[in-house]
């Protein structure tokens, strides 16, 4: 569904003199909602989630990072993985992380399906309730 905003004008409410104070903030809100719903929703600004970018080797685990929100994440999803090298190899299996949470700190216990002693850049999407 495509959003088609319409600005509200005072002329549309001729018999309501009080409406002029309401129209400006209402039109601004309509504009912001239209912008958000037109492919401008981001994980960082609009969802209860955050993106963490880590550089890891299998020998680096466990890896700890502090969470943005105080509650335990519902899920940590691997968003993007790339080998950090001049000629990166192709990953042939999905990469997963095993993690634990304690007092607003996530500990990555292991990273599956990456080569030992090779450095990778991994983007994680940390999703909260």
Query: Same domain for 31 and 51?
Result: no
For the whole model, what pTM was predicted? 0.72
Query: Same domain for 61 and 35?
Result: no
Helix (H) or strand (E) holding 33: helix 20-36
Query: Same domain for 29 and 48?
Result: no
Contact in structure between 95 and 42 (CB atoms under 8 Å): no
Output the average pLDDT for the chain.
90
Query: Same domain for 78 and 18?
Result: no
- Write the CA distances from 101 to 1, 19, 72, 76, 95, integer angstroms: 39, 51, 6, 11, 20
What is the band of 2 on the pLDDT scale with cuts at 50, 70, 90?
A: low
**68 HSE (CA, 13 A, CB side):** 14
Q: What is the pLDDT averaged over residues 58-70?
A: 92
What is the band of 78 on the pLDDT scale with cuts at 50, 70, 90?
A: very high
Nearest to 126 by CA among 51, 45, 55, 69: 51
């Amino acid at each position: 569904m495509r959003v088609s905003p319409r600005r509200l004008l005072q002329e549309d409410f001729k018999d309501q003199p009080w409406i002029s104070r309401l129209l400006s903030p209402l039109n601004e809100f309509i504009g912001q909602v239209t912008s958000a719903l037109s492919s401008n929703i981001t994980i960082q600004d609009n969802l209860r989630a955050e993106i963490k970018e880590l550089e890891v080797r299998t020998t680096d685990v466990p890896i700890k990072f502090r969470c943005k929100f105080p509650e335990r994440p519902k899920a940590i999803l691997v968003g993007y993985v790339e080998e950090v090298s001049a000629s990166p190899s192709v990953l042939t299996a999905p990469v997963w992380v095993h993690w634990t949470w304690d007092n607003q700190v996530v500990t990555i216990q292991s990273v599956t399906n990456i080569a030992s002693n090779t450095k990778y850049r991994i983007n994680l999407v940390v999703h909260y309730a």
